Structure formats: structure tokens, C-alpha cells
A and B are shown apart, each in its own frame.
Chain A
């Protein structure tokens, strides 16, 4: 029981990270109907920018307290957003109006480019970072087993909830969010209403990349090791999360992320750690076969 509770805590905090990345997949899919396979690598870029800024803050002696963490988060979001914007501008926009597979192939190419770029500029070795957020609470004790809620896990859960709340407000209540939804539902009509759809699409990539940067920063702080390749696995799992939740659905992405995090954690805890990725990807296969629209995906009936 205590063991299961601990896994639940671990699974939720992992799942939140997946969920944040999954939102980026689902947003881009919603608005231009493509899977942005470079999105996992944008997450990796976010982790690296966070690492670089932490190292710089430490060497300057400023890496103290929550304000410093917030600064790291802001820096990572800003620079990663720039990467997201550039990727769309360089690799996807010129292919708009081309055949459907073209941007997808371009995305895979962009993913390889970003990985190699980081591998060359930062080196291929794994980058460690000493824990920046330590300590935690003991929730309950069952014999020798202690259920822990670490400060890091609290940080992950609080940050993702806050960021997702801001994001939800942005999409549902602001004119920008309305324009994004309009482009998603009927891009030609949106431009017939004077909406600059290219700009709206750019902003979608910027927002998706900032969320990936938050996930990357939290991932770095939680696991303390990153390399140029982390984006691949995290990206594919977040993609699985987006599909499980129903691609195109924002709440679905978060729900899917949580489920993948929980499945992976519980599988590792009760079966075998070696096969945890198999568990996650079996879910992808099963979802695609039995529930192609995902848990919260829509099967809209529209009147003509």
C-alpha cells in the first residue's frame, strides 16, 4: 500500500513532464495537422539551455533560492521559444501547401539537425548536474518503507499546474487563444476574418516550445543528467501520451501524459524496469488499434 502510494507520487510527477511535452505535439497537430517530430528535441534544447544558465549562475554565485530557479526557467523558456519559432520558419512554413508528408519528413530532418547541433556544440558525453532542489517530506511509514514526497516532486507538480493553468487561460479566454482555435478549426476562414494565420501558427510553436522548455528544465532538475539524445525517448513517449489522450485535445494531452507516467512507473515497480518502454509503447499500439481517436479525441458530427 505504502509502496503503491510512493509509485503514485513518482508516476504523477513523471507524467506531468510528459504531459507538458505532449501539449506541444497536440497543439501543432491541431493547427497545421502535422506531427512535429522535432518537438522532443526542442525539449532537449530546453534542458540544455537550463543547464547552461544554471552553470553560469553557479559560477557567478547567484544560484540561490527559488528566485534563481525562476530565472533559469524564464531564460530556458525564452531561448527555447526562439528555437521553436525558427524551426517552424525554416523547416515547415516553406512547405505549407505542399503534400502532406513533406513537413513530416522535414520534421524528422530537423530532429536530426538539432541532435547533431547539440552533440557537436556541447559534446556527446552525458552532462551531470548536482541536485539543486533537495529535501522533502515523509508522508507515511510502513515498517521499513518510507513514503517520500520530495521538494523536487512538489516543484514539478506545482510548476506544471501553474503553467498549465496560465496556458489554459491563454487558449480559452484571450483573443490570441481564440485566433489559435479559429485557425485550428478552419484556417481559411480565419484569414477571411483578417487573422494573420502565419503569425498565429508561429505563436503556436513559440508557446509549445516554451512548455517544452519548462518540461526540459524540470527534467534536468529532477534527474540531474542530460545528453543530446534525451529528446528522442521523451519525445516519443509524449507523442504516445498525445495520441492516448486524443491528438488535438489539450486536456487529453495532459491526461495522456499522466497515464503514461503512471503506467511506466507502476510497470517498473511491479514487473521489470528493463521493459518499461515496452509497456509505454504497447499502449501506443493498443490505442492506435482500438481507440484511434484517443480518450478525449472528438468524433464530431457537424451539420451541413
Chain B
């Protein structure tokens, strides 16, 4: 047993000829919320996807809870207890909300009933809309659905890609408090990618800054929030 849930070492990944990650190393301890901040195109989403084996890393290592998963096919990695709410939400548009959620548990082989109740308790909105097609939901509801679907698999490690993107501040607060609650009550380990650095750093235990495919800074959430270069680059004047 290691204390580390996810250990990424010198990860290099690319889409076609475009090298998106140029040797990234980071670690997420069990029960920790870690956030990865960075500008558009820094490689944040590529990192989350390539932890899941899509695209397969060109080099480097990804170790999940002591087991190397670097070259495993995506579906096997996901069955080992990783779940992702990906960039763009990727809700199945022509499936009902309920079916979308059931898809989350399907490959894991456990009874979806208890997880479904938890997700509905977390996002009552999804319960109201369970018969509605995924494609007809509003952006915020789709975000809840994507997160709920990821939770349905009872993950050990939850990867969240920009859960706040395009959402009203009220809904963002709701989603962030849901993540905190899951982490505190169930010990869920979370790796969170955000452009909304301010809130993400407040939520996270630790954070990393990714700039054009490389980690340039790391520290606790409070430390990073206090750094002037972070304030200038990612927090902007608008917050």
C-alpha cells in the first residue's frame, strides 16, 4: 500500500504531431483534492485524458494506487476505479438522464441502486429530470449529469475537467461544495482541472500550475493563492 493514489512521472503525450505534454510529474495522495491550473491550451485536459490512456502516453509512467496503468487500454483503466467528467461534459445526448447515469455504473458490475440515490441526493435536479434526454438539459444540468455519471462508478480517483465552465456562479458554488462534501464524507480523491483558479485553489489541498505542457509551480492551495505571479496570470482583476 502506498499513500499515493496517483503518481504521474515524466509524462509525455501528444495528439498527432502536436506535443501537448512535455514531461509532467505530479502526485495525488489518497483522500486529497488536487487542482491543476493553467491557461487555455496548456495541456490540462490532455493530461487528464492521457491518465486514462486516451491518448496513450508516448513516454513516462502513470501509477494508480501502486499499479502501473501507463499502457493499459482506456476501458481497463476506468474499470480499475478511475472516473472522469471530461472536457465538454460529453453527456450522451439521445439518452435519458437516468440512462446516462446507469452508463456510469454499467461496466463496473455493482448494483447501481445505492449510487443512484446518492447522486440524486447530491443533485436533486437530476432526479426531477431523469426521463429527459441528455441533449435537452441546460449547461449546468449537463455538468451535474457528467459529474453524477462519473460518481456512479464508485471511483477511487475522480478526474474533473473544468466543472465550472460556462456556469452561473451559484451553480459553480453548488458543484464545488458537492465535491468538498464527497471528499470529506467519503474520502474521495479528486484531481481537478480549472481555469477558475481562485475557487479551485480555495477548494483544493494542493495545486499545480501547468504552462505549455510543463509543471512550473506547485504548493498548497493557500500558498499558490498568495503568489503574485499566480494572481497576475490566473486570477486576473475580475475576481
Contact = CB atoms under 8 A, between A and B. Distances in A.
Interface of A: 175, 178-179, 181-182, 185-186, 188-197, 298, 300, 302-304
B106 A178 contact: yes
A192 B103 contact: no
Contact of A189 (B73, B90, B135): B90
B129 interface: no
A178 B103 contact: yes
A197 B103 CA distance: 13
Contacts of A186: 90, 92
Contacts of B74: 191-192
Interface residues of B, number: 30
Query: Closest 7 A-B residue pairs measured CB to CB?
Result: A194-B107, A194-B78, A189-B90, A191-B74, A194-B79, A185-B92, A196-B75
A193 B106 contact: yes
Contacts of A302: 93, 135
Contact of A303 (B73, B83, B107, B137): B137
B138 interface: yes
B149 A193 contact: yes
B31 interface: no
A303 B90 CA distance: 11
A303 B140 CA distance: 11
B103 A193 contact: yes
8 contacts: A181-B95, A185-B93, A192-B74, A192-B78, A192-B90, A193-B107, A195-B75, A304-B139
B135 A194 contact: no
A191 B92 contact: no
Contact of B92 (A181, A298, A303): A181
Nearest to A200: B75
Contact of A179 (B106, B137, B149): B106
Contacts of A185: 92-95
B110 to A, nearest CB: 12
A182 B100 CA distance: 9
A150 B213 CA distance: 71
Interface string B186-226: 00000000000000000000000000000000000000000
Nearest to A197: B75
Contacts of B73: 191, 196
B136 interface: yes
